[in-house]
Amino acid sequence: MAKIMILMSDTGGGHRASAQALQAGFIERYGDRFHVEIVELWRDYTPWPINQLPKSYSPIVNRGVWFWKFLWDASQQPWVVNPVLNLVGLFVRDTIRRAFVDHQPDLVVSVHPLMQQLALTSLRDWRKDVPFVTVITDLGTINPLWLFRKADRCFVPTDEAYQQGLCAGLRADQLVMSGLPIRPIFAHSTLAETELRWKLGLAEDRLTALVVSGGEGMGPVATIAHNLAERLAMDGRHAQLVVICGRNEQLRQDLSKRDWPIPVHVHGFVENMAEWMVASDCIVTKAGPGTIAEALITGLPILLSGFIPGQEEGNVPYVLDHGVGAYSPNPTEIAAIVSRWFGPEQDKLSDMAQKAKALGHPQATFAIVEEIARLIT
Ligand code: UDP
């Protein structure tokens, strides 16, 4: 059984989600032909204090966003990043090499921008003949750290990322435009909208807005939901809201207690996001790459309510330029936009839904695992 090692780190939910999507894709396509292991390389195979990086990501992004933006901008500059990587490399080269000795992979996949140069250097210290591939898990803003020319393949999520790859000096035969890897269920969703509304306890005849904000339910979700419900009621829209709070239990409890002027369905972390998306008519979300990719596949117009500076910033023009949604960080304006979409602008809503479906990549995960399988068989 060939062994595939996926390198990730829990800095934000997306890298683990992509790693798990690929693992699920391998199992669905090939059964037990491959043994796929997901390894938190940074936490488990770098020395203290470097191994504390994953833990510090959330506090920095949530409470010191200016500092995160500073780090992100610095990471775009080769004159800053190269000396830092060289210095860190002195401390982690041997410990990361131990990861490969421990796991004995036949092929290595990296789904994290910090695990290109450092990981590949250590991999080559161990073996010269083990293929190394990069799967980029950001959509619009591709940090140069992702685009490492020594990778055997680099899977990119968008045409824009493909062009950035070429500009960074990767060859056309290294780059594969596959789409972002997402859970295989999104490729198989066969239930119709009305069936799902019935199954999920939603009114079948009401226009439905889905409000989410990543796996952690971060940002002003409560204010957005409140403004949206009030505005849809005031404008007399025959509508309902679904608010998915993710792991933000406080938010779920808070919203569950409220009286709402229209039907509002509040949930914590859901495992069946594909169903909620298919059952909805539009989504209001922060600019997370996973949620955007899933919304496109399910043909949902996307109203972006915010973004994490740096890695999510480029997702805003991506959505706007492709005509699949809008952006506003202002809850009052968000409410007005959705109300228009559900009122005089329903044709625009249908047009965006069609464009979203055309832009999505439901087969991305399978395209990636099939190409990887070809590299080791
Ligand atoms: N998600 C989920 N259930 C929830 C909330 C979110 O499965 O209750 C998933 C969502 O479908 C997406 C991911 O969590 O796949 C969020 O990824 P994204 O890149 O949008 O944001 P992040 O949480 O990584 O900041």
Q: Is 301 in the pocket of ligand 1 (CB under 6 A)?
A: no
Q: What angle do CA 55, 58, 59 make, to 5 degrees?
A: 90
Confidence of residue 200 (pLDDT cuts 50, 70, 90): very high
For 166-178, what is each residue's pLDDT tens digit? 999 999 999 999 9
pLDDT for position 67: 85
The residue ranking higher by pLDDT, 268 or 59, is 268
For 113-137, what is each residue's pLDDT tens digit? 999 999 999 999 999 999 999 999 9
Task: Kindly give the number of the ligand 1 atom that is closest to the alpha carbon of 291.
Answer: 20
Q: Please state, in angstroms and rounded to a whole number, the distance separating the CA atoms of residues 291 and 301.
A: 12
Compute φ and ψ for 335, nearest 5 degrees: -60, -40
Q: Would the CATH topology of 2-182+363-375 be identical to that of 186-359?
A: yes
The fold of the 186-359 domain, in CATH, is Rossmann fold (3.40.50)
* pLDDT more than 90, % of the chain: 81
For ligand 1, mutation pick of 180, 212, 269, 316 (most atoms within 8 Å of CB): 212
**What distances in angstroms separate CA 217 from CA 67, 246, 262, 285, one per listed residue?**
22, 5, 22, 10
* pLDDT more than 70, % of the chain: 99
- Average pLDDT rounded to a whole number, residues 347-358: 98
Cα 303 to ligand 1 centroid, rounded to whole Å: 16
Average the pLDDT over each of 74-83, 147-156, 262-271, 294-303 and give the range with the smallest value. 74-83
The residue whose C-alpha atom lies closest to atom 22 belonging to ligand 1 is 214
Q: What pTM, to 2 d.p., does this model score?
A: 0.94
- Average pLDDT rounded to a whole number, residues 356-361: 97
pLDDT at 43 over 70: yes
CATH of region 2-182+363-375: 3.40.50.2000
For 282-341, what is each residue's pLDDT tens digit? 999 999 999 999 999 999 999 999 998 888 999 999 999 999 999 999 999 999 999 999
pLDDT for position 109: 98
Count CB atoms within 10 A of the CB of residue 125: 14
The domain locations on the chain are 2-182+363-375, 186-359
